Amino acid sequence: MKPNLNSRLYSLDALRGFDMLFIMGFSGFVIALCALSDAPFAGWLAQQMRHVEWNGLAHHDTIFPLFLFIAGVSFPFSLAAQRAKGFGQGRIHWNILRRALILIALGVVYNGLFKLDFENLRIASVLGRIGTAWALAALLYIHCRVRTRGIVAVVILLGYWALSALVPAPDVVAGVDALSREGCLVGYIDRMLLPGKLIWDTFDPEGLLSTLPAVVTAMLGNFAGEWVRQPEKRISGGRKAAYMAAAGVVMGIVAWAWNMVLPVNKMLWSSSFVLAVGSYSLLMFALFYYLIDVRGWRKWTLFFRVIGLNSITIYLAQKIIDFKRVARFFLGGVADMCPEDWSKVILTGGYVLACWLFLYFLYKKDTFLKV
């Protein structure tokens, strides 16, 4: 059954869809378009569609944390709905645990579980981190007051900073930078404790220790969701959006300053990275919330909501369905008649269109994969 959008934030579904669009091949389409031009802006934009190698931040590095932030925003609404149905603490806790376990399992499936090559199977995953970090943040939300959660978030960020900056991996030669891929404590803990294959043999960006600061990313979403749920009689939607935008700007300034001593680093999910992407996430949510839920401008959101309502579906489907082959089947003839650069534009655009039409078909059939 199609979700009752009147009981949920339109802006969350639209923002989730905007975020997933880049995972759905739009980044490749932008890169193909940028290849048509020699302008400096085109080169810069193409770089934004790729992850940075280590330190630094590009737009592509914001996709994963924004999704986790959105999951955090959703939880206060989900919790209120469960309590309205009369669910007790035990059932609510079970729902949190079940969702976390399903996401961890789906992450392993995404990594190739059914190849049955267990020796080379990677256990860590994007979905696994979302499930774990979201669940821990959700439990903190249930059991702790706002002030306590704020203190926990600060302690995690400062403690993780101290650990990652001051404690190098014990199994590397002396003098190796503790914040390097080779010398970081994050990689050492994964080598010692994380089962399965690490994505880079000695390091995994979705490993154990770096999940701690990711919990704060989800907690920031909790704070935002809790704020938006404030009664309109107490504070208007416009002011809610304005305060979130202001908080995003302040967070961005702190992240910029912190970056001078602790580099923003997605692979380590550094504490400065948490604030940098938290700033971006808050600003984007404030914008979408204001335009869609406050101003009521919703007609343009269908394209994004079709993706956002089935985000897990398309993430997994791209591993199962050969959308590239679908695009080539319908557009390959036209692409072959064009110069190579234009051919890439046509085929990458066709890939995005094939994915979206697949999701639109599910949308029209009221079919949604919810975890």
Exposure class string for 101-127: b at 16+ Cβ within 10 A, else e: eebbbbbbebbebeeeeeeeebbbbbb
pLDDT of 152 strictly over 50:
yes
CB 277 within 8 A of CB 62: yes
pLDDT tens digits for range 344-366 = 999 999 999 999 999 999 999 99
Tens of pLDDT, residues 37-96: 999 999 999 999 999 999 999 999 999 999 999 999 999 999 999 999 999 999 999 999
Pairwise CA distance, residues 138 & 79, whole Å: 9
What is the number of other CB atoms lying within 10 angstroms of the CB of residue 192? 11
pLDDT at 3 over 90: no
CA distance 153 to 219: 8
Residue 205 has pLDDT above 70, yes or no: yes
Can you name the residues that pair with 55 across neighbouring β-strands? Answer: 265
pLDDT in tens, 92-113: 999 999 999 999 999 999 999 9
* pLDDT tens digits for range 307-341: 999 999 999 999 999 999 999 999 999 999 999 99
Residues 168 and 183 sit within 8 Å (Cβ to Cβ) = yes
Question: What is the reported pLDDT for 107?
Answer: 96
Domain count, the chain: 1
Bridge partners for 265 per DSSP = 55
Answer yes or no: is 221 within a domain.
yes
Identify the pLDDT of residue 304: 97
Asked if the structure places residue 298 within a domain, the reply is yes
Model pTM score: 0.94
pLDDT tens, 279-313?
A: 999 999 999 999 999 999 999 999 999 999 999 99
Look at residue 2 in the predicted model and tell me its pLDDT. 45
* Residue 14 placed within a domain: yes
DSSP string, 232-247: TTTS-HHHHHHHHHHH
CA–CA distance, 62 with 74 (Å, rounded to integer): 18
Which residues form the domain of 235?
5-364
Q: Is residue 369 part of a domain?
A: no
Whether the predicted pLDDT of 7 surpasses 60: no
For the chain, what is the radius of gyration of the CA atoms?
21
Please report whether residue 245 resides in a domain.
yes
Q: Quote the CA–CA distance of 153 and 64 in Å, as a whole number.
A: 19
235-247: b or e for each residue (b if 16 or more CB lie within 10 Å)?
eebeebbeebbeb
Residue 331 structure tokens: 């557009």
Rounded (10°) angle between helices 89-110 and 311-320: 30
Write phi, then psi, for 55 (nearest 5 degrees). Answer: -75, 150
If you count them, how many residues does the chain have?
Answer: 371
Domain annotation covers residue 370: no
In a domain, 275, yes or no: yes
| 202 found inside a domain | yes
